[in-house]
Structure formats: C-alpha cells, structure tokens
Amino acid sequence: MSLGRLDNFIGFRLRRIQNYLSSAFTAESVALGLRPGEFSALAVIAANPGVSQGTLAREVGLDKSAAVAVIDDLERLRLAERRRLTADRRRHALYVTGDGEAALDRLFAKLETVERDVLNALSPDDLQVLSSLLDRIYHSCFRQDA
Amino acid sequence: MSLGRLDNFIGFRLRRIQNYLSSAFTAESVALGLRPGEFSALAVIAANPGVSQGTLAREVGLDKSAAVAVIDDLERLRLAERRRLTADRRRHALYVTGDGEAALDRLFAKLETVERDVLNALSPDDLQVLSSLLDRIYHSCFRQDA
DNA sequence: TATTGTTATACTCTATAACTATA
DNA sequence: TATAGTTATAGAGTATAACAATA
C-alpha cells in the first residue's frame, strides 16, 4: 500500500505519530475513568489554580458548553472542584483536589513512558533538536496568545 | 495561561501543531463537499488504483462499515467509483475519476499552502531535518506494516 | 446590554453486530 | 465455513442556540 502524494507532507506524518502516542496514552486515561480531553483539562487547571471555565475552555480548545460536561465529570470523580467567586458571582474558579494531583502524577508518569517508547529511535541530542524545531513552529503559529 | 507540565511533552506540541494544520485544511476540504477523512481516502485510492474497500479501510484507519459511507460519498460526488471484480464478485475495486484527480490537485495545492504558512518559521534545511527526524520515529513505530 | 455558566438539541463519528452475496 | 461489503443501531463527541443569574 502506497500513500502516494500524501507521503510528502509533514502534517500527515505528524498525525500518524500523534495518533499512535494518543491511543497508547488513552488506555491509561480511561483506566482512571477519564474520557479523552479530560486529562489535559485537569492538567491545565493544575497549572492555573482558580482559572475560570471559559478561559479553560478556550485554552484546551473546548466549547464552553462542552467544558461543563468535562468539569462535571472531574467533580464527580473528585479530581477537581468548582468554587463560586465572591468578586464575580457568575464565575466559577476551578481547582484540582489532592486526588486530582495524585491522578496527574500517575498520568504524567504514563505519558513519559509512552513518549519514551515512541521516541526511542532518537538520541537525546536528536530529541533536543526535534523539540526546538517544534517550538519554533509552535511559537510562529500561536504567538498571538491571550 | 500556563500549560504546566503538559508543556514538557513533545506529543502535546505535535497535537497543537497538527490541530492547527488540519483545521486550516478542513475548510478547503468541506468547500469541495468532502468530510474530514474523505480526502485521505481519495488520495490513497489515487495512489493505489483498484484497491479494495477493506484494504483502504485498514490503511486509512477506518472501520469497513465507515468506509462504505465514505465511498458512497465519493461516488455521489463523482470523485471515485466502485467496479465489481469479475475474479471475485464479492470485491469492489476502487478508482479515482477525472473529477477526482482534479479535486486532488486542488486539495494538494491547498495542503502545500497551509504547510508553507505553518512551517515558514523553518528554513528548508530545518524542514529537511524535521522531516527526517519524524521519519525515523515513524519507521520505528510502524515498521511492522502490512 | 453583555458575560458566565447551564441546558437542550441536533448533527456527526465511531464501534458493533447482524445480514447478503459470494467464495 | 469464511470473507467483502452492506445495513442498522447505539454511544460518544461536537456545535448551536436558548436560557438564568449576574455584572
């Protein structure tokens, strides 16, 4: 089976590698009761304690209505919690619980294992180069951040 | 907004870049009436004239039942066609039509534009390095191909 | 009047299994 | 009995708009 012209595009190779990484990781994620996307939401809350739902949604690429379901789920699992802000009672500030931090430790450990397996074709120097090339692309695309 | 520990993982950056690439491309794709995934199916048929539905499905990562809907769509748009094989009348051989080739030319041109925009932070030499690093990862993951 | 979060709804995707026609 | 393709169906994911509370 040939991929033909598709094979000339970097985006196609990015997608194949990324699909592989994420399917390997998803198994660990669902083992903790998390659906795809909930892990990154939890990680972003952990990195930004008190973040609002709207800001989180924008950052993770979710619709604000989809964010409701994600946070409902995280609360149900006692991994994160909403706290109504007194300053602006429309807003919820989001925080990760102790259980949430423990889950993140476990998930990040798995993520490291998965990446190590997939990236073991490259030397540490190669990885450094790859990382810096991706950074340069990333920053040229997303420099206009909020 | 910080991404916290997430930012240390190459897979996360791969995903952001790939999301960006694919959302920019999807617009052109739907303008031609194609749904996501149908473009790559069409490209693989073009690269492998006479391929069967099952083989195509495996290659593109579709379920065989999902492949039916994709090919129905491609036939309805007159971009590809099924031909019943006389040797084994259970099978359909798939072919791209003239319209299909024209659509592919247009779509691949768009793909080049999108990639150029996103990857313009890198010099041709850098792109060559990136491409070869991704290839090495890819081949170490998928060497056990069919 | 605008914004934050919520609910409702519809649409798309995906995954599964049952079915047909051929082998 | 096994395989290629099809159909039917249910579940998850996503996108949209209407809504309540608050600003």
User: Is the separation of the CB atoms in A97 and A79 below 8 Å?
Assistant: yes
Q: Write the DSSP assignment of A73-142 as a string of letters.
A: HHHHTTSEEEEE-SSSTT-EEEEE-HHHHHHHHHHHHHHHHHHHHHHTTS-HHHHHHHHHHHHHHHHHHH
Q: What is the mean pLDDT of residues B61-75?
A: 95
Give residue B139's pLDDT: 84
Residue B146's pLDDT band (boundaries 50, 70, 90)? very low
Mean pLDDT computed over A18-23: 85
Q: Which of B2, B7, B8, B12 to mutate to test the interface with A (most CBs of A within 10 A)?
A: B12
Neighboring chain A residues of B28 at a CB cutoff of 8 Å: none
pLDDT interval class at A1 (50, 70, 90): confident
Residue A92 pLDDT more than 90?
A: yes
CATH code at position A82:
1.10.10.10
Number of domains in chain A: 1
Q: Mutating which of A14, A104, A136 best tests the B interface, going by the most B Cβ atoms within 10 A?
A: A14
pLDDT in tens, B74-124: 999 999 999 999 999 999 999 999 999 999 999 999 999 999 988 888 999
Q: Which domain holds residue B57?
A: 4-142
On the question of pLDDT at A77 being above 80, the answer is yes
Tell if A143 CB is < 7 Å from nucleic strand D: no
